[in-house]
Amino acid sequence: MEAFHGRLTRDGIRIHQKDDYAGMHRAGDLAARILDDIADHVVPGATTAELDERITAMVEAAGATSATIGYRGYQHASCISVNHVVCHGIPSTKVLKDGDILNIDVTVIVDGWFGDTSRMFVAGHLGRKAERLIEVTHDALMIGIEAVRPGNTFGDIGHAIQTYVEAQRMSVVRDFCGHGLGQVFHAPPNVLHYGRPGTGPVLEEGMFFTIEPMVNLGRPETKVLSDDWTAVTRDKSLSAQFEHSVGVTSDGAEIFTLSPAGRFHPTWR
Ligand code: MF3
Ligand code: CO
Ligand code: CO
């Protein structure tokens, strides 16, 4: 008989138990430490494939497993999305140049638990518009996390993010969303980064999910390239994304993917 792992809500969202938070912290911590390490290697002249190789080596050295290698045919330990790439950029021999901004997204499995996080990096000098985009996207994630507490709804999270981003005259991507996770990679619910207050499932203690807003300087529309992965902005405007894995507590949120080195925020340098 299978071990008992909490109940499912009517929306199919798993309610985890007290001990499960520790498993999520171990997985989230590794994913965050890998991104802390990679920061110093994001420089003009590096290729995204080199960065991905380093990430693969770190996952292996930790005795963990990459959740993305072999996932729906994906073959890399990270997604690296440069400039107008919105998400799911495939590591390649493309060389980073001064001023490029990139999201690096890593998901690891530690003792069966999934840790999923991404943040923005810059190769060389950060331009004014890119800096503003990155700051707004980071703040959008944190504003979303502030809306996480029992009794609020998933629509409250999306509304908080959308309202903030649009007030900055930027746009929220609609084509990709956050997701439940835990002992699986992508579980219910879809965590939308836009929405209306009071709509969607009600948050309960024990729910684990990601919030991972993608924000564009231009219009929100995306398209997927012929490699079937790389999503880009249709208008070729710059795009940014930050992602945390979080758990609902009795009175708020616990972030599983905090940066041990304090390097999550774009002003780490
Ligand atoms: N880590 C991504 C997410 O935030 C998913 C990447 S799936 C991959 O959900 F196959 F593209 F790696
Ligand atoms: Co995710
Ligand atoms: Co991710």
- Tell me, what amino acid is at 77? A
Which one of 55, 87, 107 would you pick to mutate in the ligand 1 pocket, going by the greatest count of ligand atoms within 8 A of its CB?
107
Residue-wise pLDDT tens digits, 117-139: 999 999 999 999 999 999 999 99
CB atoms within 10 A of CB 80: 28
CB atoms within 10 A of CB 93: 8
In the prediction, which pLDDT does 6 show? 75
In the prediction, which pLDDT does 4 show? 55
Q: Give the chain's mean pLDDT.
A: 96
Residue-wise pLDDT tens digits, 206-263: 999 999 999 999 999 999 999 999 999 999 999 999 999 999 999 999 999 999 999 9
Q: Is the peptide bond before 188 cis (omega within 30 degrees of 0)?
A: no
CB 35 within 8 A of CB 256: no
Cα(1) to centroid(ligand 3), Å: 32
Residue 153 is classified by DSSP as: B
Please tell me the number of the ligand nearest to residue 178's CA.
Answer: 2
In the prediction, which pLDDT does 269 show? 45
pLDDT tier at 265 (50, 70, 90 boundaries)?
confident
In the prediction, which pLDDT does 2 show? 44
**Average of per-residue pLDDT across 97-125:** 98
